[in-house]
């Protein structure tokens, strides 16, 4: 069996390990975004708006690694930063909802799971400009919208 096929078969087995490792790695980000910034913004503009603002900042914060080609593998990086900001803005209300229900560790586990899945995706699929189909591309962004809409409705009711 050729190496790529074996790698594709074994990749899903890495997800539990990657989830645990990535949860600890994501804790620093989630402590800053959801544990510190979002609650302070929420006092002024409410949880939903604070989540979206945090998401945009969170996406732009990834600019240095996006400039190196991470996530989208684009040589011209400004679209990568814009797409990541859009992706994070779409995902952030759901991350905030998880934070409000389960604390920083809950948001960290969600973040770790997303990063684990994305890491496995990049292992299995060849690095090429994948702004449409990759986990942080348009398809991934659209996937967060129903979850974040649900979260936004729950957060508005909790006022």
- Tell me which H or E stretch contains 152: helix 138-157
pTM (predicted TM-score): 0.88
Which of 44-53, 67-76, 79-88 is the least confident region?
67-76
pLDDT tens-digit series, residues 114-128: 988 887 777 777 666
In this structure, what token pair is assigned to residue 124?
Answer: 């299995």
pLDDT of residue 4: 55
Which of 18-22, 39-43, 67-71, 120-124 is the least confident region?
120-124
Separation of alpha carbons 44 and 51, rounded Å: 12
pLDDT tens-digit series, residues 24-33: 999 999 999 9
């Amino acid at each position: 069996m050729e190496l790529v096929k074996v790698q594709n078969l074994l990749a899903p087995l890495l997800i539990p390990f990657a989830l645990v490792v990535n949860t600890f790695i994501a804790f620093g980000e989630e402590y800053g975004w959801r544990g510190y910034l979002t609650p302070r913004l929420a006092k002024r503009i409410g949880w939903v708006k604070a989540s979206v603002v945090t998401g945009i900042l969170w996406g732009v914060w990834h600019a240095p690694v996006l400039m190196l080609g991470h996530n989208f593998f684009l040589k011209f990086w400004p679209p990568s930063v814009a797409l990541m900001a859009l992706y994070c803005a779409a995902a952030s209300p759901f991350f905030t909802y998880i934070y409000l229900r389960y604390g920083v560790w809950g948001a960290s586990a969600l973040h770790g799971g997303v990063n684990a899945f994305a890491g496995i995706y990049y292992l299995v699929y060849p690095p090429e400009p994948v702004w449409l189909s990759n986990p942080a591309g348009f398809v991934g962004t659209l996937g967060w919208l129903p979850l974040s809409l649900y979260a936004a409705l729950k957060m508005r009711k909790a006022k």
